[in-house]
Amino acid sequence: MRILLSAVLLAAGVAIGAAVPAVSDLVRGGLSAAGVPSSLFAFTAAPGAPEPKAEHSEGDGHAHGGPAAPKTEGHAHGEHAHSEAEGEEGHVKMTAEQIANQDIKVAKAEGGTLSRHILVPGTITPDTDRIARVPARVVGTVAEMRKRLGDDVKKGEVVAVLDSREVADAKSEYLTASVKAELEKTNFDRQQALWDKRISAESAYLNAKAVYSEATLRQDLARQKLSALGLNAAEVAKFAKQDETTPNASTLRQYELRSPLSGRIVERKVDVGTAVGKEGDPSDVYTVADLSTVWIELSVPTSELAKVKEGAAVAVTPSQEGGERHERGKVVFVSPLLNADTRAARVVVALPNKDMAWRPGTYVNAEVEIARDRVPVVVPKAALQTVEGKRVVFVRTEEGFEKREVGLGRSDDDAFEVVADLKPGEEIAVGNTFLLKAELGKSEADHAH
């Protein structure tokens, strides 16, 4: 009987709650006394209280304006958090201190140049314009070798001395011709003075003039012979006067060999006492090389030859494993001829070598620049990450970084052209961006959970 009464009261309470927006305390008390749970009429309000607003969400089964199920405080807070997380999707919150601590480098997106290259193997060789031999220009015997292998020399410095009868004959001939010319000049001057005063006959004057002219000619011929041997007539005469005071140290037979350029002795071909100058004898005593600049000999395939231009920049690295040295050179020659065997063209690169670390004979790899394209916006490859199959950059914001998909164009070894969705001047992360990708992945995983 009591169960039946409770059911009747429950139905009545529900009907009253649906029809009357506010139920009096008396009715509420009666329903409670009858055993009806207070939650069934929790939507009712005390007399004079404002009517509660109906809540519903998209997908809610209730009609618009109808009563909705009450929400607890915890439920409402969860919805708010979900909404906030949705608004931050694609963002990574990070303070300036966190950015610095994680060494995330930031830079402005700017225009730049994309350089395309081809990789070609090559061999270091001496620069042929900076290598020279010290020739034995006369027949003689090596008397002194003043430089050792590896020594540095200056241009014009004496590197060896020969003992040469040929030189002695040439010097003697010049010195004799000089003395003869000086004597004949004195005689000519005296005959000219006598002829001017009409004291001597004209024939004597003319004869003295002819003899003096012949002596002068012989002196000139002797001087030219010295010059052909690389000797200076004035120095020969000076040393001859010195020899008069030191007869035991005659320089008549000595012939000094001088370096034709500044550099380093890279080859020594003779020793003291070696005969030189005659057929079958060594023709050189030293090889001097200036290795402050070297060449790289490249063999470029025919398919790539048209792309290589003289003046193009070249990045050079050692071909051996573990080689870390880098240097930049320039193409100075592209041969118009092809090698008949390899069907490749000779390309020469000039490479600075101030510390002498690039040794002739070394194998290297050369990246030859074949094109330079100026683009409005370029970003380094380290700035790009792939998220859900799309290439993105992380743009700096006040609160951290924003993931942004970008359109890419041309590229080179280090950077990409950006053709859409990034403007010059915008700040982006360009270093350690994988950390931002990881943080973004965590944030989206938390959001999905």
Does 92-112+374-448 match 117-127+290-372 in CATH topology? no
Determine the Cα–Cα distance for residues 370 and 309; give it in Å rounded to an integer: 7
Tell whether domain 117-127+290-372 is in CATH 1.10.10.10: no
For 263, counting Cβ atoms within 10 Å of its Cβ (0-12 exposed, 13-18 middle, 19+ buried), the class is: buried
**Among 318, 321, 329, CA closest to 354:** 329
* pLDDT given at position 392: 93
Provide the CATH topology of domain 92-112+374-448: 2.40.420
* pLDDT given at position 79: 38
Determine the Cα–Cα distance for residues 152 and 286; give it in Å rounded to an integer: 12
The contacts of residue 313 (CB under 8 Å, 6+ apart) are: 115, 328, 329, 330, 369
Angle, alpha carbons 12-16-19 (nearest 5°): 140
Q: Kindly give the pairing relationship between strand 254-258 and strand 275-276.
A: unpaired
The pLDDT tens digits along the chain (449 residues) read 444 444 433 444 444 444 444 444 544 554 454 454 544 444 344 444 444 444 443 434 333 344 444 443 433 333 333 333 333 678 888 888 888 888 999 999 998 888 888 889 999 999 999 999 999 889 999 999 999 999 999 999 999 999 999 998 999 899 999 999 999 999 998 888 888 888 888 888 899 999 999 999 999 999 999 888 888 888 888 888 777 777 666 788 889 999 999 999 999 999 999 999 888 888 899 999 999 999 999 988 888 888 899 999 999 998 876 556 788 999 999 988 888 887 888 899 999 998 888 989 999 999 998 888 888 999 999 999 999 889 999 999 988 999 999 999 888 778 898 988 898 999 999 998 999 988 888 776 665 55
- List the chain domain ranges: 2-70, 92-112+374-448, 117-127+290-372, 135-286
**Among 52, 206, 231, 73, CA closest to 138:** 231
- 265 by DSSP, 3-state: which? strand
First CA to last CA across the chain, in angstroms?
Answer: 51
**Among 178, 90, 98, 110, CA closest to 424:** 110
Query: Cα torsion at 262, 265, 269, 271 (round to 10°)?
Result: 100
Determine the Cα–Cα distance for residues 377 and 425; give it in Å rounded to an integer: 9
What is the DSSP-derived secondary structure letter of residue 365? E
Helix runs in 36-164, H state only: 73-87, 96-101
Tokens 């007869």 belong to residue: 247
Q: Which helix (H) or strand (E) holds 206?
A: helix 202-228
* pLDDT given at position 205: 87
* pLDDT given at position 428: 93
Determine the Cα–Cα distance for residues 327 and 359; give it in Å rounded to an integer: 13
